[in-house]
């Protein structure tokens, strides 16, 4: 059997599946990705380059689709170069960059699974959620709607869609939901687990351990969509009440999903500057992106883990924090409610930094009261997000591929 993965940043969400199939002698695995794609053993990777394009003459509504079509053209060339003996029986692809547009035409008989991560819209999603950052008017609404063009075409072409959570599936038009299965890619719970002897080294050389008071906050990039501004506004109160607490902030200072910061600024600096004079910044440690092993060590020493998000895609970091057995204080927003409730975490209103601060202080002051939340968080992940025993076997079943006898060990990778 031949399997083709198509993902701009391969392997991306397909890491576990691609690794498992690459160890199966019955399967030949090919991947197509951009210059940011990463090679994997036993996977033939075809990389394409997308030249910088001037789309100024293109109507603003169509500029995204213009770029997606240019990307699709490069994928078309890569796909057409495959020898007949590697023509895919199964395609697994992410439609978010337009790369899926030519796949059905090139491979009309392949079983085609599309990763349905998110469908843009105005109703109950990220746009318009935060009054601090107002909407852009009707033109912006139309532009947002048109961001779904490639995804809609892919939904028409594919045999099956898959969304990692029920809420993410619910963002798609109801006409397509019966075509979309709910299945998370899972986390490796044998790797992401508690370690009472774990230690995390700060840039200063100081080692933090489970016996220390450690607050953790994680986002790929530190931006409002992931609640960075709310978290920073809670910190002065937390640090004043807990004079021994140390804060680990994991993530970079770019923008992944939400709006860009004002010219010449970063969201990281903007909201740090807002509160810096009110707190002891020597106890606040910005550690950037971390290797996965270091990321897990940070979670393993965490006394209180904060996860905040607009109604948007659920972060892997939350599931891994639960797998490690963190005490999670999380925003009571739609995607989070699916995995965090009062039985396994502490939901808080997104827009209430004072409430967030009070809950964190309480967890730090009385950790024994919340030990059951740690245990239940781990149990939730074991039941719903176990990559090896649940998610991967179910994914192979959806793809109509017999289970692989052995799943290869996880390789280390950068994470935030």
199-384 is a CATH 3.40.50.2000 domain: yes
Residue 412: the pLDDT is: 45
pLDDT by residue (tens digit) across 5-30?
A: 999 999 999 999 999 999 999 999 99
Nearest to 124 by CA among 333, 338, 315, 348: 333
Residue 408 scores a pLDDT above 60: no
- Beta-bridge partner residues of 328: 305
Q: How far apart are alpha carbons 344 and 323 in whole angstroms?
A: 11
Residue 411: the pLDDT is: 46
User: Under CATH, to which class is 2-186+387-404 assigned?
Assistant: alpha beta
Residue 401: the pLDDT is: 83
Nearest to 82 by CA among 183, 178, 2, 200: 2
Residue 414: the pLDDT is: 42
Residue 274: the pLDDT is: 98
Residue 143 scores a pLDDT above 50: yes
Among 115-124, 150-159, 256-265, 375-384, whose mean pLDDT is lowest? 256-265
User: Rg (Cα) of the chain, in Å, rounded?
Assistant: 22
Residue 252: the pLDDT is: 94
- Cβ contacts of 259 within 8 Å, gap of 6 or more: 133, 224
Residue 4: the pLDDT is: 98
Q: Where are the domains of the chain?
A: 2-186+387-404, 199-384
In this prediction, residues 365-369 reach a mean pLDDT of: 97
pLDDT by residue (tens digit) across 169-193?
A: 999 999 999 999 999 999 999 999 9
Q: Are 124 and 334 in contact (CB under 8 A)?
A: yes
In this prediction, residues 354-380 reach a mean pLDDT of: 98
Residue 410: the pLDDT is: 52
Residue 406: the pLDDT is: 52
Mark 144-175 as b/e (b = at least 16 C-beta within 10 Å).
bebbbbbbebbbebbbbbbbbbebbbbbbeee
Percent of the chain with pLDDT over 70: 97
Q: Are 387 and 186 in contact (CB under 8 A)?
A: yes
CA quadruple 42, 316, 384, 335: dihedral sign: negative
pLDDT by residue (tens digit) across 77-93?
A: 999 999 999 999 999 99
Residue 135: the pLDDT is: 76
pLDDT by residue (tens digit) across 185-230?
A: 999 999 999 999 999 999 999 999 999 999 999 999 999 999 999 9
Instruction: Give the mean pLDDT of the chain.
Output: 94
Residue 258 scores a pLDDT above 90: no
pLDDT by residue (tens digit) across 312-352?
A: 999 999 999 999 999 999 999 999 999 999 999 999 999 99
Residue 51: the pLDDT is: 85
Can 2-186+387-404 and 199-384 be said to share one CATH topology?
Answer: yes
pLDDT by residue (tens digit) across 111-124?
A: 999 999 999 998 89
């Amino acid at each position: 059997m031949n399997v083709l993965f198509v993902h701009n940043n391969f392997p991306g969400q397909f890491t576990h599946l691609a690794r498992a199939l690459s160890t199966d002698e019955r399967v030949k695995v090919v991947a197509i990705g951009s210059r940011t794609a990463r090679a994997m053993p036993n996977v033939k990777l075809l990389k394409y380059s997308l030249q910088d394009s001037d789309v100024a003459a293109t109507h603003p509504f169509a500029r995204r689709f213009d770029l997606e079509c240019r990307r699709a053209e490069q994928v078309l060339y890569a796909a057409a170069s495959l020898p007949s003996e590697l023509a895919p029986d199964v395609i697994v692809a992410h439609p978010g960059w337009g790369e899926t547009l030519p796949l059905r035409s090139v491979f009309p008989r392949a079983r085609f699974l599309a990763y349905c991560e998110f469908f843009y819209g105005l109703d109950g999603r990220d746009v318009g959620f935060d009054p601090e950052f107002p909407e852009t008017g009707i033109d912006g609404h139309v532009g947002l709607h048109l961001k779904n063009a490639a995804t809609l075409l892919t939904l028409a072409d594919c045999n099956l869609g898959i969304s990692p959570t029920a809420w993410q599936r619910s963002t798609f038009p109801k006409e397509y939901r019966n075509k979309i299965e709910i299945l998370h890619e899972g986390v490796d719970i044998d790797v992401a687990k508690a370690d009472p002897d774990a230690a995390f080294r700060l840039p200063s050389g100081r080692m933090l351990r489970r016996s220390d008071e450690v607050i953790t906050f994680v986002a790929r990039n530190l931006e409002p969509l992931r609640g960075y501004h709310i978290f920073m506004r809670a910190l002065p109160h937390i640090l004043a009440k807990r004079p021994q607490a140390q804060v680990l902030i994991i993530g970079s200072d770019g923008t992944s999903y939400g709006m860009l910061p004002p010219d010449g600024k970063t969201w990281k600096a903007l909201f740090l500057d807002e509160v810096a004079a009110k707190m002891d910044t020597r106890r606040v440690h910005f550690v950037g992106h971390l290797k996965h092993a270091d990321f897990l060590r940070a979670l393993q020493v965490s006394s209180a883990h904060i996860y905040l998000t607009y109604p948007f895609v659920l972060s892997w970091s939350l599931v891994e924090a639960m797998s490690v057995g963190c005490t999670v204080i999380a925003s009571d927003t739609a995607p989070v409610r699916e995995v965090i409730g009062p039985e396994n975490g502490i939901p808080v209103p997104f827009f209430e930094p004072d409430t967030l601060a009070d809950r964190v202080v309480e967890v730090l002051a009385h950790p024994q009261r919340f030990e059951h939340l740690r245990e239940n968080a781990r149990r939730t992940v074991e039941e719903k997000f176990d990559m090896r025993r649940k998610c991967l076997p179910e994914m192979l079943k959806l793809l109509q591929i017999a289970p692989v006898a052995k799943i290869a060990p996880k390789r280390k990778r950068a994470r935030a």
